[in-house]
A and B are shown apart, each in its own frame.
Chain A
Amino acid sequence: MKLKANRVTLFLMVIPFVIIVFLFNYIPLFGWLYAFYDYKPGIPLSHTEFVGLKYFKWAIEEKDDLIRVLTNTLALSFLSILASPLSVIFAIMINEVNSKRFRKVVQTLTTLPNFISWIIVYSLATFMFSSGGLLNEVLMKLHWIEEPTTVLGNSNATWWFQTAITVWKNLGWGAIIYLAAIAGIDTELYDAAKVDGAGRFQRILAITVPGIMPTFFVLLLLNIASVLSNGASGFEQNFVFYNSQVGDKIEALDYYVYRVGIATGDVSFGTAIGIAKTLISVILLFSMNALSKRVRGHSVF
């Protein structure tokens, strides 16, 4: 009997936390209804007209905007994915260092950018790269340039610059995961290779790289699955670096939803785009998981 009472108590003590999960993760899904109504802020949903798929059709009609935003999203995501092997290379480089202290210092200092907010990243970028910033000051002093220029307002450079910022922020942190994967490789493999006369590069290519590959593959699949808000196309990065000069090149899907939905007030339209994005992302995630099952024999999650 005591056990029964214990079980009931346990269950009751879990319920409040399940409710919290429900409130903050599931309830917002009901907000998807707004996409199917002519919603105006301030008027309750019950007083607004049901319009079905009107806003989804509108999204397709407004295709110029959507194509521009999708191009930016895919370009920024694709460049971030293209840069992801850099973390693997960096991890291998760190692993090839014998001095423990050197490795520790490099690891600690290069993970720092991962822990700061996008507002700080933006702040630092302004001091470095704005027209009155450090880079211009140095280049002018060296007489390499006559007039200050700024990459922050140069729309031709935006995709590359944003990718570089993402790499700067994520490279060191990304390497930690691969270093852990390298640590999991059986050291006997290296010893055996040494006995067989394999050189340093041969050992890296024949043992370290294959040892990391499964981890890289999983992360790659997850990156592809989140292609609609990945890397430099994420909302926060877009938000802080957005300005009118680069707007056409930087604006990715999440920022677009914010701009039409909250800044402009087309709540229904913004929600419709958001729904489409979430659905595509979930489908991508399951496809990547299925792909992983087929190729590697087990799933990502």
Chain B
Amino acid sequence: MKNDSSIWFDIVNYTLQILFTLLCVYPFYYILIYSISDPQQALKGVFLLPNGFTIVNYTHIFRLDNMLNSFFISVLRTVSGTILTIACSSWLAYAVTKNELYFRKTIYRFVVITMYFNAGLIPWYITMKELGLKNNFLLYILPVAVVAYYVVLFKTFIEQLPPALEESAMIDGAGFLKIFTHVIFPLSMPIIATIAVFASVGQWNTWYDNYFLVSDDRLQTLQLILYNYLTDAQRIVSSSNLQDLNRGLAAKISPDSIRITITMVVTIPVLLVYPFLQRFFVKGLMVGAIKG
């Protein structure tokens, strides 16, 4: 069946895909090999392989002021924020599938409409301040407890579950909350996995709430620390551990190595999480897409 033009098509097709894939991967590979290269040798250039090998960059960055703490804050907001989002959004989605809910349609519309408008940056900023969320950890997680898009995805998923399961639990006398936690939630794992990826990556990547409304260093996130180091060279020297500087470590490290290593540390969690859950979110998106 294969003819010449088809073979040429394959060659061009594979080549272009490989090139674009390399274009997507190489920057990450580059920061990986740079971060494990010897800082001084790396200045002469790193291309395909690490130049010397060391983990001094990694040991150094975790001794920078506030680095460990902000790592902890980022993990905390990701874990707690994701759990909160899933719990609140899925419960609300389940409730609006119930005919027994008073004002069911009104409530659903009230939630869904929020996808189509946005008050804007300044009103958001002022509202958060008035609600007392300035320099408050809750700023990171509470505003996204209910996300309209996730409610729609959950609701669509729950609606296609066989109603018989729920009815038998109902006959056994279980209330709505019990049916939700014991029947619906465990059956919703595919969509929960999908939303968990979106929500956790979103939490990990969000920095503007931190930038605009949190000046307290103890609540600083990793993303913002990275941004500060990228834009302010002086900061690397000034926040380095004094003992390190005295031992002459400062001569061995370079600002670029530090920046690249921090970038790597901020990227690694995403690299670890998303590929394994990819098959879930492709499936989960489909559920949403069929409805849309």
Taking Cβ atoms with an 8 Å cutoff, the residues of A that contact B are 3, 6-7, 9-11, 13-14, 17-18, 20-32, 34, 90, 93-94, 96-97, 102, 105-113, 115-120, 122-124, 126-128, 132, 134, 137-138, 141, 168, 171-172, 176-177, 180, 199-201, 218, 235-236, 239-240, 254, 257-258, 261-262, 267, 270-271, 274-275, 277-278, 281-282, 285, 301
Contact assessment for A177 and B45 in the assembled complex, using a CB-CB cutoff below 8 Å: no
Chain A residues within an 8 Å CB radius of B256: 127, 132
- Cα–Cα distance between A275 and B122 once the two chains are bound (Å): 10
B163 in the interface, Cβ–Cβ < 8 Å?
no
- Contact A274 B120, CB 8 Å, known A96-B13, A171-B20: yes
Chain A residues within an 8 Å CB radius of B175: 6, 9
Chain A residues within an 8 Å CB radius of B259: 123, 126-127
- Cα–Cα distance between A180 and B47 once the two chains are bound (Å): 37
B164 in the interface, Cβ–Cβ < 8 Å?
no
Q: Interface majority SS on B: helix, strand, loop or mixed?
A: helix
Q: Which residue of A lies closest to B114 (CB)?
A: A25
Selected A-B contacts with CB under 8 Å, 14 pairs: A13-B91, A17-B88, A21-B148, A25-B119, A34-B122, A110-B21, A111-B278, A112-B28, A115-B274, A126-B259, A261-B121, A270-B121, A271-B120, A278-B117
Chain A residues within an 8 Å CB radius of B267: 116, 120
Contact assessment for A27 and B127 in the assembled complex, using a CB-CB cutoff below 8 Å: yes
- Cα–Cα distance between A11 and B177 once the two chains are bound (Å): 11
Chain B residues within an 8 Å CB radius of A277: 120
Chain B residues within an 8 Å CB radius of A96: 9-10, 13
Partner of A112, one of B205, B207, B260, B271: B271
The interface stretch among B51-59, B223-231, B236-244 is: B223-231
Contact assessment for A270 and B122 in the assembled complex, using a CB-CB cutoff below 8 Å: yes
- Cα–Cα distance between A143 and B114 once the two chains are bound (Å): 55
Within 8 A of A (CB), among B133-154: 142-143, 145-146, 148
Taken residue by residue from 11 to 27, chain B's Cβ proximity to chain A (1 for < 8 Å, 0 otherwise) reads as 00110111011011101
Quote the shortest CB–CB distance from B107 to chain A (angstroms). Answer: 6
In the complex, given contacts A9-B175, A274-B119, what are 6 additional A-B residue pairs having Cβ atoms less than 8 angstroms apart?
Answer: A11-B102, A20-B146, A26-B114, A31-B119, A31-B126, A94-B17
The interface stretch among B64-72, B75-83, B92-100, B187-195 is: B92-100
- Contact A14 B207, CB 8 Å, known A20-B142, A31-B123, A128-B27: no
B111 in the interface, Cβ–Cβ < 8 Å?
yes
- Contact A117 B207, CB 8 Å, known A31-B126, A271-B123: yes
Contact assessment for B121 and A10 in the assembled complex, using a CB-CB cutoff below 8 Å: no
- Cα–Cα distance between A122 and B131 once the two chains are bound (Å): 32
Contact assessment for B27 and A262 in the assembled complex, using a CB-CB cutoff below 8 Å: no
Chain A residues within an 8 Å CB radius of B206: 117
B285 in the interface, Cβ–Cβ < 8 Å?
yes
- Cα–Cα distance between A107 and B285 once the two chains are bound (Å): 15
- Cα–Cα distance between A277 and B117 once the two chains are bound (Å): 10
- Contact A236 B208, CB 8 Å, known A14-B95, A28-B127, A134-B30: yes
Taking Cβ atoms with an 8 Å cutoff, the residues of B that contact A are 3, 5-6, 9-10, 13-14, 16-18, 20-21, 23-25, 27-28, 30-31, 34, 45, 47, 88, 91-92, 95-96, 98, 100-103, 107, 110-111, 114, 116-127, 131, 142-143, 145-146, 148, 175-177, 201, 204-208, 212, 223-224, 226-227, 230, 256, 259-260, 263, 266-267, 270-271, 274-275, 278, 282, 285-286, 289, 292
Contact assessment for A97 and B119 in the assembled complex, using a CB-CB cutoff below 8 Å: no
Chain A residues within an 8 Å CB radius of B263: 120, 123-124, 127
Contact assessment for A17 and B120 in the assembled complex, using a CB-CB cutoff below 8 Å: no
Partner of B205, one of A13, A116, A168: A116
Contact assessment for A20 and B121 in the assembled complex, using a CB-CB cutoff below 8 Å: no
Chain B residues within an 8 Å CB radius of A110: 20-21, 24
Contact assessment for A116 and B118 in the assembled complex, using a CB-CB cutoff below 8 Å: no
Quote the shortest CB–CB distance from A94 to chain B (angstroms). Answer: 7
Chain A residues within an 8 Å CB radius of B30: 127-128, 134
Partner of A29, one of B9, B21, B47, B119: B119
- Contact A20 B122, CB 8 Å, known A9-B175, A123-B230, A177-B289: no
- Cα–Cα distance between A216 and B279 once the two chains are bound (Å): 22
Contact assessment for B107 and A14 in the assembled complex, using a CB-CB cutoff below 8 Å: yes
Quote the shortest CB–CB distance from A263 to chain B (angstroms). Answer: 11
Partner of B95, one of A10, A20, A124: A10
Quote the shortest CB–CB distance from B191 to chain A (angstroms). Answer: 15
- Cα–Cα distance between A11 and B145 once the two chains are bound (Å): 18
Q: Which residue of B lies closest to A176 (CB)?
A: B282
Contact assessment for A115 and B122 in the assembled complex, using a CB-CB cutoff below 8 Å: no
Contact assessment for B13 and A93 in the assembled complex, using a CB-CB cutoff below 8 Å: yes
- Contact A106 B21, CB 8 Å, known A31-B123, A124-B31: yes
- Contact A274 B121, CB 8 Å, known A3-B100, A11-B101, A180-B282: yes
Listed residue (B103, B121, B124) with the most chain A CB atoms within 10 angstroms of its CB: B121
Q: Which residue of A lies closest to B23 (CB)?
A: A168
Quote the shortest CB–CB distance from A58 to chain B (angstroms). Answer: 15
Quote the shortest CB–CB distance from A75 to chain B (angstroms). Answer: 22
- Cα–Cα distance between A177 and B113 once the two chains are bound (Å): 24
- Cα–Cα distance between A26 and B47 once the two chains are bound (Å): 51
- Contact A93 B16, CB 8 Å, known A11-B101, A17-B146, A21-B146: yes
